[in-house]
Structures are given as structure tokens and as C-alpha cells.
Structure 1
């Protein structure tokens, strides 16, 4: 870590520490000040005295897979009183953010970089949200760092209290902003892609410093600390990471016929023309980890812009567009078209998702991962506490889905683990 001005560091820390203590700097201007000393104070950690209902649970035993603790925790999470106690109304965020300094302090946001390595490698995030402000705020807190930049897209059809609460939260952070153009997102239709495209453009124009772009939704949560994410991205050496494979025959109807939104639903129409430039359409996912050059290609490359226009009347374009662009020659960080460069969602680091039909018992030839310990929504596992031990052994940066109203302890124990790890890595 290179030497820093004590005065500059004191000013930065004072924003966070406020009246908790007074920082005296008695040495000369060339002292090498180590913020680790300040971070030994436990105020940044999530501890049992935080007053949160989930703090009664033994996260250490849960992460170790202790069966008795897991069973007790599952029984607790289904009780009516506990489920009621963990819910935070949207109005709380609207009122609490009237005093931004106190909001960030009480919610324990990290308002200064934890290392020079992280400060020198800023990231750009797009987060698409339509409900469950509490889920979103926990996600933002888990990934927040002052050197990063965050674009938030709130669905046009979201309830007024959701929009107001997220607007209030973003107003407390200079590097978190609402997208300039909101859309009404329709499941499996083009507006889901447009929401990310609008944030991509805003992020690209807002800062020239960020190195990588990561898109998220409100039910994602990190599996790695910011430092671990930075190191994983450095290891890519300019490459991108996302699912990009041959398109299965049973999915080709998604782009061989046109689709349009009618009364909020997708209806099929006439047969489409072949893809432009004879591009092979790849199978992929909606979530990606890509370098700044990839985003520049999405916004400026005439081949990509033509592909985007062609894709606007397809079904679930988010599940092939990014994967196809990843195989276009000349796109920064892209891979060759040869099948040997295909990448599955299991091998990519972008997102850990448990699909119902790929679950099974350990040792099964067909199973990709163990069975879901939570419940399923649209065949995707909504993680429970029983998934944490397995989840933390995976290489993915993020996982989907989490739901504060289904299993709040899974989120609580994961964010507690990540915060303590982030602070421990400084020692």
C-alpha cells in the first residue's frame, strides 16, 4: 500500500466515523498510515448485538452444515412472529434516508476503500429491480464501495412506495444513481434487455475509470467480497465470463419467429429473417461479467447494433444476445466461435443458479448440483440456509435467487460472512 496523507485519510474516515471517536494525527506528512487499526473496531461488523431478528441464529454452525442447527433455523423461519419481525416496510427507507449520514452509519455501509488494490480497480454495476426494497438494499450494502459506480433500473410498473424508497436510498450515495430512461419490463421480452442497455450507456458515459461491468437483479447476492471479485476479474486478464454455448434445437423457435408484446403478454407472429452477418446465435444467460471494451462494442459496433435491432422481436433475447456478442470476432474479451470455447453457466463465474431439473443426489450421473434446500420459483432454486455450505465452495461471484421473505437467515448469514471476511483480509 502506498503512503497516504494522514490529513486526507482523516477526512475520509471522519465521514464514516462521525462522532464515534476523534482521530488525532500527530506525525509528519510522510507517515504510512494503516487503516487496519481503525477497522479493528467492531462497529463495521454484523454482530449479535445488532438487534436484528436473524441474529439469534448460529451462522457458523449453519455454514458448517450442522444438521440440528439447520433444522432449528428452518423451523424458526416459518413461524409467523419471526416472519413478521424481519419485514422492513418501504416507508422505513424513505424516512431513514432523510439523514443520509446516520442511515449509512446505522446500516454499516463501507464508505472508504478497504485496500489500494480495490481502489485502483473500480467496477460498474447495473441492478434491475421491480419489488422487495429490503432485498435490494441488502444487496446494495453487500456490494457497495465508494470507488465503484451503480446504475439502478426500477421497473415502470413498480409500486409507488418501491420507487420512492429506492429513489431515497440512491440519493444518499454520489456513485449510485437511477437510470436515465426507465422501461416497463415484460418477462421474456425485449424490455428486459433494454433496461440493462440503458444502464450500460449511463455507466459508460458517467465514468471512464471502471474496469468491468456486472449486471444484477434485486434477488441476487454476492458470494465473494469486493476484493475477491477484483482479484477474480484481474485473473481474467481482460476476458469476459458468461454462459455461451451451442443453441439447443428446442430453443431455436425463440429467434426464428417474431414476437410482440400485446396487453403485457408475448404473442408470436411471422417467421423472422436469418440473423445479420450470418452470426450463429448462441445460448446463454441474462447475467454477465464483461470488460469496458465489450460495453463499448454493444453501444458503438455497427454489427452489434444491427444484431440488437434484429433481436427486438424475439423471445427471451436476454438468454442469447450477450452470449452471441461474446463470440463476435473483434469484441474485446470475446471467445472464438469453435465449440471448444463454449462455456456453461457452471464454468462461468457470472452467476450461480440451481435449476430444478439439474438437481440431484451426490454421486448421481445426471445431477449438476445438490437439491435445493429452499423452494423453487420458475424452476429456479430460491436458496435456503441449507444451501450455504455448498454455495460458499463455488467459484461464482454472485448467486440467484434469494428472498428476504422466504429465508432471511440465508441472506443474513451470507452478508455476515462476507463482511467479516472483508475485514479479516485486511489484517
Structure 2
């Protein structure tokens, strides 16, 4: 075939592809969707394939994904979300919730059964994102304490209570704090849950703390192997000696203030009178941790831990010095006095680290922390940390769906028990129905 014919065929092919794209785009954009639940957030015929392409950072997938999320935000609230159900006055049907939201209701391996974990979840908003996180970390042999910010609405608290009531191993903390960002109340919330967990009958091995906008990057079995491996019997509290620029956090008195719609911590001009109790050296690090049960007992009973807790009441963000400082005490259970930033507990895209430790936020920033967008999926899949922060299901529904489709197959592949069909994340073919103006799911 001569060059002229090849050129003609190439032009014709490209033209047809362009026309097809324009046609398909017009079909998707023409109607306004009635509602887009998480099951339909993929918006294409094969959501798994779209997610796979997003994790590879393919430009075409990012474009299609952005269109899908735009349609989701333009439509009504997600019908699949439990928050909208509760607002409509429909109580949760626990059996239906566990089945339709793909909860794993059996322990998947002897290895996991022999190493139960405790989780502390501090939450203050967004029940749908909390439930999305919870079904990813749920296992029937673990135990979960949910601390609900005392400032939240009665409706949100009822929703969390209803969610917890669907599971035998989940409870809401009896004592609730009015949590202020950067305040002592955030540390106290964890302590409240620890007291109840320590007094429970389940002999859990480690406790890990989460906020309601986290998501795991490892399966439960991978968490167990991580903690039983290099860290066996050791606490994970990443941090270093308190840097000079962080010292005003603990050298001056800070106060929490709460008013309708606002809460904040202010630094006063008054210096703290007393030095750090027991001559402890202050460290600075992550507020997130993995702590042994023995260390938790130490935190709740040792005079040094108790005195440091009281001393920290008027400091700024004490959860960023409390755990890491106690874990450097040589005779504390599971202590690691020479530890630094090891542990890889969280992946976070901080605003001031853009283009330094990460490639920038592809979603949006809240308090200098990235809320992940579609363009962040490739980066997330390459992380080796235990969890990532932050996510918003209703702002970025396709991110949420793809993260589930990325994690759940790995979880099930590690199972030693027969896999139940409802444990799979739904893999429905979704398409936009022009005539009925809705996202339709054909029966299988």
C-alpha cells in the first residue's frame, strides 16, 4: 500500500476516534444524573479497568475520571451513603449493611486470629467517609473504639452509635471530649479510648489510632506481619529530639477556646513555670502510633506518664510530643530510645513539602494537608506506609471506589477460609441511562 493510502487511513481512523469521543462525551454530559452512589462512581462500562488506568496515572483515565466526579457532585447526594439514609429517617438495617457494603465477617487466617489489634478512631464529621474507612479495617477478631467529638451534632452521634451497634466488637467511647485542633483535647480523646480498651476482655496485642479520614494501605494480615516482624514487642512512635523551632509549643502556656462554629488554640505570653516533669527530654514527632498493650498499661499507670500528661495540658498539639517522648524512656515497655522517623505509619502530602517529598496535591488542601484526588492514586499505590491521610468520599467518590478495588482483592487473596461472594467489592457494569436519567446497574 502506498504512502497516500496509509495517510488516508490514518486520518480516517483519527477522525472517527475524535467523533466517537465527542459523541460519548455528549451522551455523558447531556442529562443531569439523579444520584450517583459509590457503586456507580466509576461512570464507565468497566470501573475496574478505569481504576487500574488511574493507578497508572494515565492521562485519558484522569480526564474521564474528572468528568465522572463532576457529574457526581452536580447530582443529588449518594443514595448508597448511610448518612443520607439516616437523614431521611431510615434506621440502618445491620444485616443489609454488612452484606451490601461488603463487610468481611469471618477471620481470614489463624495468623490474624492469634494477633488481634485494637483501633482508636477519632471522628467529628462525614459519616460516609468513616463507614468507608471502617469496612476496610474491620475484622471480627479485632476491637474498635470510636471517639465522637462532643461538638458534633446529635444526628451524627446517633449515626455513629447505629453503625457501632451493628458489630459486637465496636463501641463508642463513654467519655467524649470537645476536640480542638492542636489542643490537649485531641490527646485526651485517645486516652479515653485507651482506658476502655485496657479494661476490656479481648487480649489485643497493639493499638493503632486513626482519624475518620484515613485509609489503610495494608491489609489486616500485612499489618500483623509488619508488627510481628522488625517491630515485634516494640512501639512505633516516629519522631526526633524536639527541634528549636518547635519549642514555643511547650515553653509557653496555650489555651483552647470554643465558640459556636469555631474552636482554636491560642499561644499566650505566659511562660510555663515548671520544667518537664521527672527531667524527661522532650521529643517531637507523629501523633499517630502503634503501641503494645503493655505500653498502654504503662501510659495509664506510671507516674512519669501521668505527670507528663498533666504538664502537657496547656501545650500546643501535645499528641505530637507525648507518645514519642514516653517511648524514649528506656525502661518503658517496648521502648525504643534511639528511634527516629522509622515506622512509616502515615503517608501525608503536606503543603510545605510539595515538590520536595511529593509531587503536589491533585485534590485540594485542608489545613495544609492534601485531600487526595484522582491524580494522587498513582502516588498512593507506591507508598509503603500503613495508612494514608486524608480522604473525602463525597468530594472524590471515584478515589474512594478505586482505593477499595485496590485493597480488597489483596485482602481476599490472603484468606485461608472460603471467600463469601458478598466480601467482594461490587463489580457492576454501570452506565448512564439517557431515557431514565439515572445510573443503571444491569442484573448479573
8 Å contact 2:38–2:78 — kept in the other structure? no
Indicate the residue corresponding to 2:133 in structure 1: 139
Q: Which residue of 2 aligns with 1:396?
A: 385
SS in 2 for 1:369: coil
Deviation, structure 1 residue 200: 0.8
Q: Is the 8 A contact 2:116 2:203 kept in 1?
A: yes
The one-character-per-residue Cα deviations of 1:59-97 (angstroms, maximum 9, x if unpaired) are 111122222101221232133655635363625158665
Per-residue CA distance 1:127-156 (angstroms, 9 max, x = gap) = 011110000001110000000000001111
1:111-190 to structure 2, matched below 5 A, reads: 111-190=105-184
In structure 2, the partner of 1:382 is 371
TM-score, structure 1 as length reference: 0.81
Provide closer, same or farther for how the CA distance between residues 83 and 63 of structure 1 changes in structure 2, counting only shifts above 3 A: farther
Secondary structure in structure 1 of the residue aligned to 2:42: helix
Once the two structures are superposed, the pairs formed by residues 291-306 of structure 1 within 5 Å of their partners are 291-306=292-307
Flag as ranges the 4+ runs of structure 1 deviating above 6 A: none
State how far apart, in whole Å, the 1-side matches of 2:72 and 2:399 are.
Answer: 18
Rate the CA distance shift 1:297–1:83 in 2: closer, same or farther, 3 A. farther
Deviates more, 1:58-67 or 1:193-202: 58-67
Flag the 1:50–1:77 CA change in 2: closer, same or farther, 3 A: closer
> Hey, what's the Cα distance between the residues in 1 that align with 2:136 and 2:75?
22
Match of 1:416, SS state, is helix
- The match for 1:331 is 332
CA contact (8 A) 1:131 1:162 kept: yes
Given the alignment of the two structures, is residue 271 of structure 1 paired with residue 271 of structure 2, yes or no?
A: yes
My pick for the range that moved more, 398-407 or 99-108, is 99-108
The alignment partner of 1:206 has SS state of coil
Q: Which residue of 2 aligns with 1:26?
A: none
TM-score by length of 2: 0.78
The C-alpha deviation readout for 1:243-293, integer Å capped at 9, x for no partner, is 211222121111101112244443334211210112111111221111112
Which stretch of structure 1 is more off in the superposition, 324-333 or 255-264?
A: 255-264
Gaps of 5+ in 1: 1-48, 361-366
Shift of residue 98, structure 1, vs aligned partner = 4.3
Structure of larger gyration radius:
2
Cα distance, 1:81–1:356 mapped onto 2, change above 3 Å: closer
Distance in 2 (CA, whole Å) between partners of 1:386 and 1:262 is 37
Among 250, 256, 264, the residue aligned to 1:261: 256
How far, CA to CA, are the matches of 1:374 and 1:200 in structure 2?
Answer: 34
Evaluate the alpha carbon distance shift between residue 50 and residue 136 of structure 1 in structure 2; reply closer, same or farther with a 3 A threshold.
Answer: closer
Q: Provide the aligned length of Structure 1 versus Structure 2.
A: 367
Alpha-carbon offset, residue 323 of structure 1 = 1.3
CA distance in 2, matches of 1:159, 1:50: 25
Query: What is the CA–CA distance in structure 1 between the aligned matches of 2:165 and 2:368, rounded to whole Å?
Result: 36
The residue number in structure 1 matching 2:340 is: 342
Return closer, same or farther for 1:76/1:241 CA change in 2, 3 Å cut-off.
same
CA 1:223–1:83 in structure 2 vs 1: closer, same or farther (change >3 Å)? farther
1:199 to 1:354, Cα distance in 2 relative to 1, 3 A:
same
Q: What is the aligned counterpart of 2:247 among 252, 275, 279?
A: 252
1:60 to 52, 63, 67: 52
1:373 aligns with 2:372: no
Q: 1:330 Cα shift?
A: 1.3
CA RMSD, Structure 1 to Structure 2 (Å): 2.0
Contact 1:53 1:85 in 2 (8 A): no
C-alpha change, 1:308 and 1:83, in structure 2 (3 Å) is farther
Q: What secondary structure is seen at the aligned counterpart in 1 of 2:76?
A: helix
SS of the equivalent of 1:183 reads: coil
1:309 positional shift: 0.6
- What residue is the counterpart of 1:311 in the other structure? 312
The higher-RCO structure (CA 8 Å, 6+ apart) is 2
